[in-house]
Amino acid sequence: MTNKDWWRGSVTYQIYPRSFQDANGDGVGDLAGITSRLEHVADLGVDAIWLSPIFTSPMKDMGYDVADYFDIDPVFGTLADFDAMIEKAHGLGLKVIIDQVLSHSSDQHPHFRESRSSRENPKSDWYVWADPKPDGSAPNNWQAIFGGIAWEWEPRRKQYYFHNFLKEQPDFNFHNPEVQDYLLSSMKFWLDRGVDGFRLDTVNYYFHDRLLRHDPADFRPQSRNAWRPYDMQYHLFSKNQPENIGFLERMRDLLDRYDARTLVGEVGDSHHSIELMGEYTSGNRLHMAYSFEMLGPRFDADHFRGQITEFFEKAHKGWPCWAFSNHDVVRHVSRWAGHGADSQSLAKLAAAMLLSFEGSICIYQGEEFGQTETELEYDELTDPQGIMFWPEDKGRDGCRTPMVWEHNKPNGGFSEAEQTWLPVKQPQLRNALSMQSGEDTVLALYRQMLALRKSSDALRTGRTEFLGTPEPLLAFLRGGKFLCAFNLSKSEVELALPSPVTLQLSQNVRIGETRVHFGPNGFIIASLG
């Protein structure tokens, strides 16, 4: 647990606290519930857990609007509950990573309340304020991700404040050193309580252009998000500023004062995400970064090969973290359903593929059961994104619904409440109880693949050599010791073996002396020689 490079090649299990386990029967998951289920996570064979935000919040954006960076929201429990969870996780050999939402706070944060009260108070420059144009309109054309202009009028100051997300999520002014010091102090608070690292939300959003220059147009009608004005701009000035690097180095300096801690950053950008991942993880900055490149609709060999190749070509000293699902996107078993012979075969293929990639890995709660997206009605939504853009975008609630632990209990064993914060609608067969003892289940495959990865330096940190295979076959060698090959289709394909192999894991394949025949969604993980 004290290996300072434990994060390199690690596998982290993301927990969405509201939906993992409800211990007190109020219909919302909590820290005590997480603690009660940690054996399940440890038995999978992962290295760490990542908790989505648990800080005090009015929950306008489900915790990504922080009102107090130094306390736990009562819906999740107390600091004592947090300490108990940390102790049990560490006792099970699990590292604990927590979400840090630093680019913005809640408008209920005491510092914002003070900042908005006048132009002269001690916190007056802690957020991004700007005068209106002579005609009274907003300072520039920057758009908010959840819709509308990214500026909100404050009559007491007679100025606008900037918000990349909801108007209830004002952006901090990182050009002010006092803001940086305050946010670093909040990180130190949690490091001193024993957390092993931070997942940094929107890590490329911290700084804005001091001159408030307009973002240029970038209208792409074929974009999957063409319904959202935010994606009609090239965000040259509202984020991705060069000053970001200096703050990342300050964060890294803080973590380096502690043993075996890590930083993983979420890079949200539609133009330069792989480049930013490389830049942010080179040198004394983040340990790891991930983007949304593998969280989208593309499911073909050229795409996955291209993302991994591009990263390591552009960031020789950097390190990626790959994921197929998280709390912000449609679950991948549903997202890629058209490429699967059936949902279970697709779930197993995706697990074997992701866990064989070079880099660190993050898996999202429920993936180990082959969890699919939940279809919700409009009146069941809580997510501001879905509420704003329905029906073009149904929001993120469909991937955030409660875990299904047991098919024979109300609410799938998640909660004893009459009503849960989001309804439990997932197919009841995709649950821990029904898969616990099966040898041919999605859960069994995750355990087997995680054990294989953990036992082999070649799979954990070995370099990748891609084989020149045509679509739909993705094939590569890891560390010169493993052949990993995947049929990303419902058709049948063949691969000539580069050398004799010893099979480790497989699905729907026939192996001869010199060739492998892949059925729909077939794959092999095999040692060479």
Number of H helices, E strands in the chain: 14, 19
The sign of the CA dihedral 148, 150, 153, 156 is positive
Task: Indicate which residue of 22, 81, 99, 201 is catalytic.
Answer: 201
Q: Which of 469, 504, 468 is nearest to 483 (CA)?
A: 504
- Is 201 a known active-site residue? yes
User: CA 14 to CA 5: how far, in whole Å?
Assistant: 20
In degrees, rounded to 5, the angle at the alpha carbon of residue 57 between the alpha carbons of residues 54 and 60 is 115
Q: Which of 107, 254, 269, 113 is nearest to 183 (CA)?
A: 254
> How many other C-beta atoms lie within 10 A of the C-beta of residue 468?
5
Q: Is the preceding peptide bond at 134 cis, omega within 30 degrees of 0? A: no
Structure tokens given for 40 = 């399940």
In degrees, rounded to 5, the angle at the alpha carbon of residue 6 between the alpha carbons of residues 89 and 49 is 35
Task: Indicate which residue of 266, 269, 293, 397 is catalytic.
Answer: 266
Sort 517 into a burial class: Cβ within 10 Å, 0-12 / 13-18 / 19+: middle
Q: How many residues does the chain have?
A: 529
DSSP secondary structure string, 376-430? --GGG---HHHHHHTTT---SGGGTSPP---TTSGGGGS--SSS-SS---S-TTS
- Is 266 a known active-site residue? yes
User: CA 477 to CA 40: how far, in whole Å?
Assistant: 31
Active-site residues: which are they? 201, 266
